[in-house]
Amino acid sequence: MKRMFLTSLIAITFGAFAIDCAAQTPSIEQSLNLKSASAPSISPDGRYVAYQVQKTNWEENAFETELWIAVTSTGERYLLTNSKKSNTSPRWSPDSRRIAFTSDRDGKRQIYLIAPNGGEAVPLTSLENGVSSIEWSPDGRHIAFTAADPESKARKDRKEKYGEFEVVQDEYTFTHLWIIDVASEFKDKKPEPVRLTEGSSLSVSAFSWSPDSTRIAFSATKDPDLGSSDTSDIYMLGISDKVIKKIVDTKGPDGNPVWSPDGTQIAYQTANGREFFFYANSYIAVIPAGGGAPRILTESFDESPGLLDWSPDGIYFVSLQKTSSQLFRLKPATGVIEQVSSLAGFGSSQLSFTADFKQTSFIGAGANDYPEVYVSALTPFQPKKLTAMSDQLKGFHLATREVIQWKSTDGTQIEGVLIKPAGFDPSKKYPLLVVIHGGPTGVDSPVVRGDRYYPIEMFAAKGALILRPNYRGSAGYGEKFRSLNVRNLGVGDYWDVISGVDHLVAQGIVDRDRVGAMGWSQGGYISAFITCSSDRFKAVSVGAGISDWMTYYVNTDIHPFTRQYLKATPWDDAGIYQKTSPISYVKNAKTPTLIQHGELDKRVPIPNAYELRQALEDRGVPVKMIVYKGFGHGIDKPKQQHAVMEHNYEWFSRWIWGEKPAQEGK
C-alpha cells in the first residue's frame, strides 16, 4: 500500500464534505458522517502516533475504522490501513518497528502486523471466535491476547439434536489468555497461538506483562456474567510453566493490573472490599508481585482513578474532574498526587506514553472544540495538536456550549452544559429541550461531537436552547455527589432537572410553555419519571428507559445495579421500588411521550417500554412507541441512528413547535 499524505487526503476527504455545508447547520446525515479520532498510541521512541479514525459506511450500514499515523515532529499524517470493515487497537512493538492491530476484514476480529510506513498487513491469528485485547511483551518476542472459547463439540452436538436453548446462568462462553510468537519473520506458515489459561473457573479481562516478559498479571471473574463483576480478582501467571496464583482476593472487584518498572510490585484498581461499589470511589492499590498485603494509595482522592501506567517517576492515572478528564501522577512511596494536565477547561483522555515517559499522546478537547489527537511532553504539559478533525466543521454555523450552575430543590449544587443557538439573543425567550445523559455516572461536557440519538444542532438551529444536566449521580463531582441518588433514583434526579429549567426560566431566556425532555438509558428513565410525575413539559422522549424497577430487576442482565442503588431487592423492600418507579405515578401523566427501544435490549429489557406505553394509552396520554429491530441497548448502526434522530426531531417539532409530521406513519 502506498502512503497517502495529508494534502491529497484533505482534498478528497473533506473537499466533497464542504460542498454540502451550504445549509449552515449540519443535517442528521452530515452529523452522522462526521469522522472522529480515537485510541491514539505513541510509539515507544516518540516518533509516531498511531490512531483510529471512524467513518460512516452507509452502503454496509456500519461505522468503520481505519488506522492512521501522525509524525510527532512535523504533524504529517497518512493513512496506514485501507481495507473493508474495521481496523482497530494499534499496539507498537517495543522497538517501534511494527504495529500489531486487530481487524475483522476477513470475518472475525484477528491480529495483524504492519510496519509504520505501510505495506501489506500480515495476519497472525485465525481463531474461531476472534480475539479481544492484545499487548506486546516488553522483549518484543510475543503478543499476548484474550479470546473467547469456541463452542464445544458437546454443545454443537446438542444443538444438532435438540435445536438451540439456553440454561440461564449456567452456560457461559469463557474468555482466556493466549500468546503468539512474533520473534521471527514468517512467510508461508503462521505461528501457532499457545493457550495460557483454560477451563470454566475464571474468565479473563485485563492483563499486563512483567518487565522481564516472564510473567503476566491478569484480572478475572468467576464467569463472564455481568452480575459477577464483584468476583474480579488479580492473578499471576508464569509463561513457562503456566502456573496460576491468585494474589488479590478481596471482596468486590479488583482489576486492571499494572507492573512497577522493577517488576517487584503490581498496582491495580480496587473497590477495597466495599459492598456498594457501583457509585462509590474505587482506589489504586499496590501489592508485592508474589502476593501479600495490599496498600491503598488514593483514599484521599475524591474520584475514581483510571490506572494507566507506572513509570520511574510515579503511577499515572486519569480521572474525571467535573466536565473534563485530567491526567495525574501518584508517588507510590508517599501517596502524593499531582495533576499533570493543568490547562483550565481542557480535557485529556485515552493516553499512552513513550518508553521513557517523556511524552504522551491523547485525545484532547476544550469547550466548543472537536476532539483531536494531541502529543505533549509530560513536564511541562504543553499539548500539540496532530490532527485536524475539526476541519470537517468549516462552513457550518454551530451552536455554542458553556458550563452553567444552579441549586437543586434540596440545595445541592448542580452543573450542566447549556447549548445556545447561533446568534443567541438574551432578550428573547426560547423553547428549552433537556437532554439527559445515561449512567447514571455519565457526564456531559461542552465539547463538540457528532450528534447521535438527538439532533442537537438541528434543534438549536430551529431556535431552541438545550440543557444537558449533570444530575446527582454523575461522575466527576466526587463520591458524595454520586451517592445522592442512592434510594432516591428518579426523585432527586427530577429535582435537578426541574430546578435547572426553573433557573433558566428565571433568567428570562426560556418560554416555560415550550419545554421538552429526552434521554437514553438512565436518561430515558429520568425522562419516563418526568412523563409520569410532571405537567411542566410539553413533550418527552424515553429512550431505552426504565419504567418499573421491579420489571427492570427481574429482566436485566445486571441485577447488582438495582440492588446497590436501591440497597434492597424487591422482595426485601417493595416500597423503595415503588417510590422510585415512574409507573407508580402514571395517574399524573399528561405529557405526549415518544418511546424508543431496541428489540433485544438486555440491559433495560423492552418490557419496560411496553409497560409504559400501555399505561399511557390507558390514561389517554398521546404516546408513540418505536422498536428498533435487531438492536440491544444501543442503536449502533448509522441508518437506524438516522431514524432515531429523525423520529426525535419530528416528535419535538410537532409538540414544541406545533408542526405537522411529514409522514404520520413514519
Q: What is the mean pLDDT of residues 208-237?
A: 96
Set of cell numbers at residue 424: 443567541
- Closest by CA position to 474, among listed 444, 499, 501: 444
The Cα 470–Cα 493 span in angstroms is 10
Set of cell numbers at residue 27: 443535517
pLDDT of residue 6: 37
Q: What is the mean pLDDT of residues 529-535?
A: 95
Q: What is the mean pLDDT of the chain?
A: 93
CA 520 to chain centroid: 14
The Cα 270–Cα 288 span in angstroms is 15
What's the pLDDT band for 255 if we cut at 50, 70, 90? very high
What element of type H or E holds 51?
strand 48-57
The answer to whether residues 583 and 545 touch, using CB atoms and an 8 Å cutoff, is no
pLDDT of residue 662: 72
Query: In this predicted model, what pLDDT tens digit does every residue of 385-420 receive, in sequence order?
Result: 999 999 999 999 999 999 999 999 999 999 999 999
Torsion angle, alpha carbons of 489, 492, 494, 496, to 10: -130
The Cα 79–Cα 4 span in angstroms is 6
CA angle 410, 481, 561 (to 5 degrees): 110
What element of type H or E holds 504?
helix 491-506
The Cα 442–Cα 325 span in angstroms is 12
In the predicted structure, residue 87 carries a pLDDT above the cut 90: yes
- The neighbour count for residue 19, using CB atoms within 10 Å, is 9
For residue 219, the number of C-alpha atoms closer than 13 Å in the C-beta half-sphere is: 24
Q: In what order do the strands lie in the sheet with 593-598?
A: 400-407, 413-420, 465-470, 430-436, 510-520, 539-543, 593-598, 623-628
Contacts of 24 (CB under 8 A, 6+ apart): 395, 396, 397, 461
pLDDT of residue 344: 84
pLDDT of residue 166: 87
The Cα 604–Cα 608 span in angstroms is 7
- Least confident stretch, 118-127, 141-150, 633-642: 118-127
The answer to whether residues 18 and 26 touch, using CB atoms and an 8 Å cutoff, is no
In the predicted structure, residue 186 carries a pLDDT above the cut 70: no
Query: In this predicted model, what pLDDT tens digit does every residue of 424-451 receive, in sequence order?
Result: 999 999 999 999 999 999 999 999 999 9
Distances (CA, A) of 581 to 129, 529, 545, 566: 40, 7, 11, 11
In the predicted structure, residue 595 carries a pLDDT above the cut 70: yes
What's the pLDDT band for 17 if we cut at 50, 70, 90? very low
Which CATH homologous superfamily contains domain 398-655?
Alpha/Beta hydrolase fold, catalytic domain (3.40.50.1820)
Q: What is the mean pLDDT of residues 222-245?
A: 94
In the predicted structure, residue 276 carries a pLDDT above the cut 70: yes
Residue with cell 476480529: 109
Q: What is the mean pLDDT of residues 363-372?
A: 96
- Closest by CA position to 39, among listed 27, 28, 50: 50
What's the pLDDT band for 170 if we cut at 50, 70, 90? confident
What residue spans define the domains of the chain? 398-655
In the predicted structure, residue 495 carries a pLDDT above the cut 60: yes
CA 38 to chain centroid: 12
Query: In this predicted model, what pLDDT tens digit does every residue of 58-82 receive, in sequence order?
Result: 999 999 999 999 999 999 999 999 9
The answer to whether residues 662 and 650 touch, using CB atoms and an 8 Å cutoff, is yes
Q: What is the mean pLDDT of residues 543-550?
A: 97
In the predicted structure, residue 577 carries a pLDDT above the cut 80: yes
Tell me the one-letter amino acid at 355: A
- Least confident stretch, 35-49, 154-168, 198-212, 426-440: 154-168
pLDDT of residue 151: 86
